[in-house]
Chain A
Amino acid sequence: MVLTHDDANDVLQNTFLKAWKSIGDFQGKSRLYTWLYRIAVNESLDLLRRNASDKKSADADLSVANRLMADEYFDGDRSQALLQEAIATLPDVQRTVFTMRYYDEVKYSEMSKILNTSEGALKASYHIAVKKITDYVKKNQ
């Protein structure tokens, strides 16, 4: 969900730190994987929101592809960069759902437990996200 190595590193470390501090609150009602994934998603969203406050307008998203092409840890081509730019334009929920479904192939039943959202709502979010991304890519290719 985040686009730079530094952000990913921060999210990862914060996730484990938060898990370490909150391990006493883990009641075992869900799998540990689900609990950790939920913390990671929340940490990612928190970081994106903090970064968004630094962005002036949607124009900043248009430069995502250029920034990724210049990033030493970006391993894709121009079209991959464009796809990431399209994903970055999505609202938080759609971005999260799309990333989990498209890249991690998380089942909707599992995603429902992680995000505490109904499967129907998740499927709707994914469908809308795919539509937006397809339109964005067609428009900016």
Chain B
Amino acid sequence: MELDEQLRQQFGNRRPFRVPDGYFDKLTADIMSSLPEEQPKAQIRTLGGRRALWAVAASFVGVILFSGFYSYQRQSKEDGAASLAATESSQSKGDAFDQTADYMMIDSDEMYSLLADL
């Protein structure tokens, strides 16, 4: 006779352990309570695909327009400043002539005639 058959005849093959009363009734609850809580995944909103491309394109267009507008504004200011300077320059020459005339207590017509004789 095989040895394992001898063992079966002597001891049987039933496990000599019993389960506590109600063990399987609460087993599911015990296991579920041991499960780790699932952390809600943070919703990271990303611009994907075409939206991202449109956003980048719009940004470039905006930068170009802004820089163009800014340079136009700057150029306009520079031109204005130059004309203002020219105007101020001519005005200052006229003022100097009048001041000179006043200082010399002669009017401008006499000054012109004096200058003509030179």
Contact = CB atoms under 8 A, between A and B. Distances in A.
Interface stretch (A27-35, A39-47, A48-56, A126-134): A126-134
Contacts of B3: 130-131, 134
Contact of A73 (B4, B17, B34): B17
Chain B's interface size range is 20 to 34
A81 B15 CA distance: 11
Interface stretch (B5-13, B39-47, B82-90): B5-13
B118 interface: no
B20 interface: yes
B16 A74 contact: yes
Contacts, number: 54
Interface size of A as a range: 20 to 34
B7 A75 contact: no
Contact of B13 (A79, A84, A105, A134): A105
A67 interface: no
A66 interface: no
Interface string A80-101: 1101100000000000000001
Given A13-B30, A73-B20, A130-B4, A103 B13 contact: yes
Interface of B: 3-4, 6-8, 10-11, 13-20, 27, 30-31, 34-35
24 contacts: A5-B17, A12-B27, A13-B30, A13-B31, A16-B31, A20-B35, A73-B17, A74-B16, A74-B18, A75-B16, A75-B18, A76-B16, A76-B17, A79-B11, A80-B11, A80-B16, A81-B16, A84-B16, A103-B13, A103-B14, A103-B15, A131-B3, A134-B6, A137-B10
Interface of A: 5, 8, 12-13, 16-17, 20, 68, 73-77, 79-81, 83-84, 101-103, 105, 126, 130-131, 133-134, 137
Rank and list the top 9 A-B pairs by shortest CB-CB distance, nearest first: A76-B16, A80-B16, A75-B18, A130-B3, A130-B4, A83-B11, A75-B16, A16-B31, A134-B3
